[in-house]
Amino acid sequence: MDVYGLLGNPVEHSLSPPMHEAAYDHLGIDARYVTFEPPADAARQAVESAATLGLTGLNVTIPFKQDVLAAVDPDDLAARIGAVNTVDFGTDPPAGHNTDATGLLRALEHHDVALDGRAVVVGAGGAGRAAAFALAGEEMTVDIANRTLESAVDLAAEVTAANIGGSATAHPLDALTGLLDGADILVNATSVGMEADRSPVPREALHAHLAVLDAVYTPVETRLLREAETAGARTIDGAWMLLYQGVEAFERWTGRDAPVGVMDDALRTRLG
Residues acting as catalytic residues: 65
Q: Is the peptide bond before 93 cis (omega within 30 degrees of 0)?
A: yes
Q: How are strands ordered across the β-sheet holding 234-236? A: 167-172, 141-146, 118-122, 185-188, 211-214, 234-236
Give the span between the Cα atoms of 59 and 36, in whole angstroms. Answer: 10
Work out the angle between the directed axes of helices 260-271 and 238-254 (0-180°, nearest 10): 140
Strand partners, 76: none
Whether the CB-CB separation of 121 and 258 falls below 8 Å is answered with: no
Q: How many CB atoms lie within 10 A of CB 153?
A: 17
Strand partners, 6: 35, 59
Give the span between the Cα atoms of 162 and 182, in whole angstroms. Answer: 25
Distances (CA, A) of 220 to 83, 110, 119, 153, 214: 25, 17, 22, 30, 9
Residue 45 backbone dihedrals phi, psi, to 5 degrees = -60, -35
CA atoms within 13 A on the CB side of 113: 29
Amino acid present at 202? P
Task: Give the angle subtended at the CA of 141 by the CAs of 102 and 227, to the nearest 5°.
Answer: 75
